[in-house]
Amino acid sequence: MKKVLILTYYFPPSGGAGVQRWLKFAKYLPEFGWQPTIITTKDGDYPIIDNSLLDEIPQNIKIIRTKTPSIYNIYAKFMKNGEKVPYGSMQILKNDSIFKKLSLYIRKNFIIPDARKVWNKHAFLAAKKELLIRKYDAVITTGPPHSTHLIGLKLKTKFGVKWITDFRDPWTKIDYLQDVKRWWCTTYFDKKMEQIVIAKCDKLISINNAIITDFGVTKKSIRITNGFDSTDFEITKKPSKKFTINYFGNIIKTRNPMPIYKALKKINLNVELNFYGNIDENLMAENCKNHPYLPHTEMLDKMINSNLLLLIINKTSGNEGIITGKIFEYLAANVPIVGIGPNDGEAAKILTETDGGKMFDYHQIDEISKYIELQYEHWENNKIHNTKCEKYSRRNLTKLLANFLDK
């Protein structure tokens, strides 16, 4: 069996869609002739903790956890009471403390590509040790954090390994950098690092075509989306007494639920709107309920027992290429999806090809209202929804990955 060394900062007990991507690849790769070894963090800075995912790590997979220095723990000690450590955002707000403003200024101009690069030294030493005692047929680095790709670059230079990069999000064109002013030299060196990584890697994987097109490396690249694990969905759907619209994930400034609020105001139906995850309190409305992040198994149960699932694509430039990880588990839940985002984007195409739901542009309030009314009527009449999404199962996607590694 061939061997692949995978370096990923995020792995259980870290939670979130990005974690499940490589957790599930590791689960199914042995079926297709590849034995994975994972190098990850021992105690990383995780925005979400989900200990339930630890039970999903296959017993036959070698996991190497390394020391992980933390910048964020130091950061948290200087925060004002109630002030949260910012993850995935560099916006300086009016009411932020002086320390937070200063630290964000330092972060965006001096720490490139990201603050997780403090892990690189320890991850490199662990990878070096593995490569010296075992023959690996490939090394994979996945980002964000994109600093992880710099470990792969160093391993490629020192050992000449076959190196594959996996981009779950853009690097220099990620949405939270769009409205951030950085020094020209910071932007230059960040872009330079990105270009070197893209040029030096042997193969490149991305969750969407937009990243591959932007990088200009179509010949050595493949699009492998996120997906769903069918074994996670062996849950019984219970009859519901109330029509519920549920959203799972974070709500931030660029992922604004205002269109759904406006749409619900136009209809006279008994509908419950729930948000499960970290929600910006400035984006909450009176007619919705906010719940904390749920462990993955509990989240899937809530998802399957929804009547309508809400999907929101970030309102940023280039959002046509955004495919959120949750869309695939939404599809597997076999519940209609109301999407808010570009109706000509990649996510919209997936909803269309799978009969999973419909995407509406941010201004299509009347159309969203009518779609909710239609799904409410289907619920009242016990109409069964059928989604065609088997191509996005984790097993099928892992087969695609294994074939790509074999080439």
Looking at residue 278, the DSSP 8-state letter turns out to be -
* DSSP secondary structure string for all residues of 1-60: -EEEEEE-S--TTB-SHHHHHHHHHHHHGGGGTEEEEEEEESS---S-B-GGGGGGS-TT
Q: Which residues contact 163 (CB under 8 A, 6 or more apart)?
A: 138, 139, 140, 141, 152, 153, 155, 156, 200, 201, 202, 203
What is the structure's pLDDT at 89?
52
- The Cα 101–Cα 106 span in angstroms is 9
Question: Given 3.30.565.10, 1.10.3720.10, 1.10.10.10, 3.40.50.2000, which CATH number is that of 230-388?
Answer: 3.40.50.2000
Same fold, 2-70+113-228+395-406 and 230-388: yes
Per-residue pLDDT in tens (0 to 9) along the chain, 407 residues: 999 999 999 999 998 878 999 999 999 999 999 999 999 999 888 888 999 999 999 999 999 999 888 766 555 555 555 545 555 555 555 566 666 666 666 777 778 899 899 999 999 999 999 999 999 999 999 999 999 999 999 999 999 999 999 999 999 988 777 767 788 888 899 999 999 999 999 999 999 999 999 999 999 999 999 999 999 999 989 989 999 999 999 898 889 999 999 999 999 999 999 999 988 878 888 778 999 989 999 999 999 999 999 999 999 888 999 999 999 999 999 999 999 999 999 999 999 999 999 999 999 999 999 999 999 999 999 998 999 999 999 999 999 999 999 99
What is the structure's pLDDT at 254?
86
What is the structure's pLDDT at 389?
97
Query: Domains of the chain: which residue ranges?
Result: 2-70+113-228+395-406, 230-388
What is the structure's pLDDT at 291?
93
What is the structure's pLDDT at 16?
82
Question: Given 3.50.50.60, 3.40.50.2000, 3.40.50.1980, 3.90.1170.50, which CATH number is that of 2-70+113-228+395-406?
Answer: 3.40.50.2000
Give the rounded distance of the alpha carbon of 83 from its chain centre: 24
Instruction: Find out whether 375 and 385 touch, Cβ atoms under 8 Å.
Output: no
What is the structure's pLDDT at 86?
52
